Structure 1
Amino acid sequence: MAYVNPSGEFNRDQRYIPTRITADGRDGYPVEPGRYRLIVSRACPWANRAIIVRRLLGLEDVLSMGIAGPTHDERSWTFDLDPDGRDPVLGIERLQEAFLARYPDYDKGITVPAMVDVPTGQVVTNDFSQITLDLSLEWSAHHRPGAPALYPEELRAEIDKINRFVFSDVNNGVYRAGFAGTQEAYEKAYHRLFDRLDKLSGLLETQRYLVGDTITEADVRLFTTLARFDPVYHGHFKCNRNKLIEMPVLWAYARDLFQTPGFGDTIDFVHIKQHYYVVHRDINPTGIVPAGPLLANWLEPHGREKLGGRPFGDGTPPGPPSPAETVPAAHGAI
């Protein structure tokens, strides 16, 4: 399975299923506790956003979560972490089955995160950007007491603006570098990425979070890329001007979020490294997974409290994850 574009610039296929799960059910899928299952892989940064938002908003009891393994083939993600290799709720071996159940001739990417309608076994949507926003806006009746406002109306325009350039230059920017098929395309993506990281460093030097004085959707989206930067993007995707740990402001910002309940406790560094180094064989033909980097430094003091800010605003931190959703200690920052 090839990922590199031999003709030059990597262009992400963004043809996602646009169906939405909403409070009024206008697309035919109303918000209902227990009806839907969020399918993720801890390896995937796009899915990691949904895992974090679900945790922060306290939706675990109304929206179950299935966790696919860290690697996949051309046919899609598999549930090899489950004892019999099947998702225990949906009863399927591959996420592909839920897509084909709704669209028998589906010809686009089988991606995570995906929301699946449990009664029919059909995928509802894999539109990762909209999924997290809808968890904030459409599922609000089921948020935990003290849930933070991740997408407050008064900050929405600014959050959207930051999300646009963080996506194009950073979230997708690392892939544009890693999957570039020519020197010119790679260097263009490389400079675009680090130019944006420099601008973000300048912004975050004087404020604790990207927008306002609390954690928002914007921080969630940047964090999942930063968490993967040194383990995979620096080497595997050749984003090697600096490591994250060599960019003081962004490194402190990332540690601040990592040490915030709901962020670092969702990160599985073992799955992250296995996914990129094993799946992308056209970049890493041997499939060898690097032993490093050292990760205990994620738990070192970050000093960002001096900038003020209130992580959860008027809300409270989420409780610990359930045992079934806890990342193994050996897979975290040790």
Structure 2
Amino acid sequence: MNAAALFGGSRKAEPGLLPDPRLGNPMPWVIAIVIALTVIAAGSGLALRNAATSANATLNGGVIVQIVTAAPASRNQQADAALAALTRTPGVIEAHRVAQDQLEGLLEPWLGTRPGDTIDDLPIPALIDVRMADAATPDRIKALRATLAAVAPAAQIDAQAAWLTPVFRALATLQWLAAGLIALLALATIAAVVLAARNTLVNHRETIAIVHLLGGTDSQIARVFQRAAGIEAGIGGIIGLIAGVAAIVVLAQQFSALGSGMATGAALGWGDWLVIALIPLGGVGLSVLTARLTVLSALRRMV
């Protein structure tokens, strides 16, 4: 009788000493929880990356010009002059003044404007949305200021991306946190497999000694544990993947209801879903490798 037969790895109906991998064992459920959390963390990290990339691409060449003066006539005159100067500026591919009705719509919830009121009665800056061919670097912003200084002395120029710098930093931090969580979950998987393998080895120490006397090798014994760990991890991985994907879909629906452009840019692509689908395979590989190394290390100390 070989090692596989003694430990339940034969095809015959004889009972094995290792418990059969099934849902009644705790290990598949532990792996399922870990895989589900890993899927959610990976999906969140990928969505945050997509949101940051989309927002940065949209705002990278964007510039906002504000004409800040309380006099309506001077404000309108400088805005028209600034707009004309910007359309002639090299590197500017688009420039348009934000319409008054758009500003009124934005300010109405905050200022309580009523029909018949005009924004010209309020000291609200005139806004010009500028799109540049290249990134709005500090040097390009400085050049635009020099261009507008003569025709619109009240103009203030800011890169759109600069307004969202704290948001980008927060997104980057959250991505690192997601990566850290994935690393911790991988360590949790390793720890769970190590504990399970060591516990089984201790319970079957005498059987292992008999296998050695019958000519069984450490590699043969390790393969039995690898097989059990792989099956349990596979079962748990499938359950965890389904649960994790379901959670991601629910979260995606909740965020899409916000109607935010950044939420739309966070949508997962086919490549992202492929990465998520590979997570259970990674869990199986990690479990099998951990079981093999743990068993071989323990067997060397037992000899």
* TM-score class normalised by the smaller sequence: under 0.3
Higher alpha-carbon Rg: 2
Normalized per residue, the structure richer in helix is 2
TM-score (norm 1): 0.22
TM-score (norm 2): 0.24
Q: Which has the higher contact order (CA 8 A, sep 6+)?
A: 2
